[in-house]
Amino acid sequence: MAQRVPVGDASGGSKRTSRVRVAVRLRPYMDKQDEKGEGPCVRGLGSQKLEIINWRNATETLQYQFDVFHDEKTTQQEVFLSSVKPVLPHILKGQNASVFAYGPTGAGKTHTMLGSQEQPGVIPRAVREVFHLVRTEEKEQDDWEYSVGMSYLEIYNEKVLDLLSPGSQDLPIREDKDRNIIIPGLTHVPLSSFSDFDTHFIPASLNRTTASTKLNQRSSRSHAILLIKVVRSQRSPPRRQQTGKLYLVDLAGSEDNRRTGNQGIRLKESGAINLSLFTLSKVVDSLNTGVGGRVPYRDSKLTRLLQDSLGGSAHSVMITNIAPEYKYYFDTFTALNFAAKSRQIVNQPFVRETVVAPVTVAGKRAREEKEAGGSGE
């Protein structure tokens, strides 16, 4: 694949533009998401591929390939080990990284990033690992000392809001003379341990996620962004200092809000979310295929914020979450077309005892779209 050098973009002085690694995670099939008892319409094929029924022609399946495919049995630990842990050592060396969860509402983004007490996700595991790496470094050599801190923010309706300072106004995004992206006024909390992190993060994240996951809730329309900053300083002259940033992002739902009966203000909000998500997809596309010249970081708040931590010399991973039930079909299809390295049509029916007849699939979908479009909330 062609590697490109972005023109006039923050690549941290590096000439290399790195790809965004794309992993896809399929969540387990859930009975309650399948009122009609149709069974799943997606299934895995090994560690890089999956197939989904072709709605245009049910005698065919569409097979997609990614950097990594995590099937529905994949544990939180496995996702962390394969997709996130490898990027963390770079943060201690003054490099930047970003991990995103992408996908429709209900497909498992928050489960992947945050998880639960019993099944902690990427965020708590990554923070634990950062502290572990810092302790190990400090034990093995004493030239550098490290400090860790966090910020937590949200992009909602193209506004940047500080989640550690409730009631704050839209914050500006700036670039310093070294092309680092900064947010003046954003709360930064120094952390000395994982439990320190827990103390500050859990209340702020609960604040945001206690609302139900029903479509159109604020949490499905905003991007939640956790920033972990690691600063290392040389103990003796020349006392160099390096800062590494890790962004852990639970993105807004990728569903097409035009199909959920949004009206008025809601429609405006969905449109704004789509600007950041839509621009993110253009940026990722541009980094991964090299088509289209300029990388459009400046076209949305999210991509502007991530400019120094996505592409360039940064290490980026996108975990695309998908759900197997038919009611997610179109959002899954759209997400896969974005995430895939390649797609192939295979002339063989999606074999399952529960599969519906070819005509019914397309017909049913059209019916659902009509219902969704006309029903409002």
In the complex, the residues that contact Mg ion under the rule CB under 5 A are: 109-110
Q: Which of 6, 40, 44, 106 binds ligand ADP (CB under 6 A)?
A: 106
- What the block records as the tokens of 232 is 């290392």
Based on the shown chain and the rule CB under 6 A, indicate whether residue 321 belongs to the binding site for ligand ADP.
Answer: yes
Residue 107 interacts with ligand ADP (CB under 6 A): yes or no: yes
Examine residue 230 and tell whether it contacts ligand ADP (CB under 6 A). no
Measuring CA to CA, which residue among 315, 187, 296 is closest to residue 247? Answer: 315
Residue 136 near residue 126 (C-beta atoms within 8 A): no
Out of ligand ADP, Mg ion, none, what residue 245 binds, judged by CB under 5 to 8 A for its kind, is none
Rule CB under 6 A: is residue 109 a binding residue for ligand ADP? yes
Query: Residue from 6, 40, 44, 108 that binds ligand ADP (CB under 6 A)?
Result: 108
d(CA 184, CA 174): 8
Residue choice 4, 43, 111, 304 for contact with ligand ADP (CB under 6 A): 111
Give the strand pairing for 144-156 and 159-162. antiparallel
Distance (Å, rounded) from C-alpha 230 to C-alpha 287? 26
Least distance from Mg ion to the Cβ atom of residue 222, Å? 10
Question: Under the criterion CB under 6 A, does residue 257 sit at the interface with ligand ADP?
Answer: no
Asked whether the beta carbons of 61 and 54 are under 8 A apart, the reply is yes
**Of the ranges 104-112, 137-145, 331-339, 367-375, which one interacts with ligand ADP (CB under 6 A)?**
104-112
Q: Which of 352, 335, 159, 350 is nearest to 256 (CA)?
A: 335
**Is the distance from CB of 37 to CB of 321 less than 8 angstroms?**
no
Beta carbon of residue 80, minimum distance to Mg ion (angstroms, whole number):
18
Nearer to ligand ADP, 154 or 308 (CB): 154
Our finding on whether 260 is near ligand ADP (CB under 6 A) is no
Residue 122 as a binder of ligand ADP (CB under 6 A): the answer is: no
- Measured distance CA(188)–CA(198) in Å, rounded: 15
Distance in Å from the first CA to the final CA of the chain = 44
Q: In the bound complex, which residue of the shown chain has the CB atom lying closest to ligand ADP?
A: 108
* 327 near ligand ADP, judged by CB under 6 A: no
Contact pick of 61, 95, 105, 151 for ligand ADP (by CB under 6 A): 105
From the list Mg ion, ligand ADP, none, pick the one residue 40 interacts with, judged by a Cβ distance below 5 to 8 Å according to partner type.
none
28, interface contact from ligand ADP, Mg ion, none, CB < 5-8 Å by kind: ligand ADP
C-beta of residue 183 within 8 angstroms of C-beta of residue 272: no
Which residues contact ligand ADP (rule: CB under 6 A)? 27-28, 103, 105-111, 213, 321
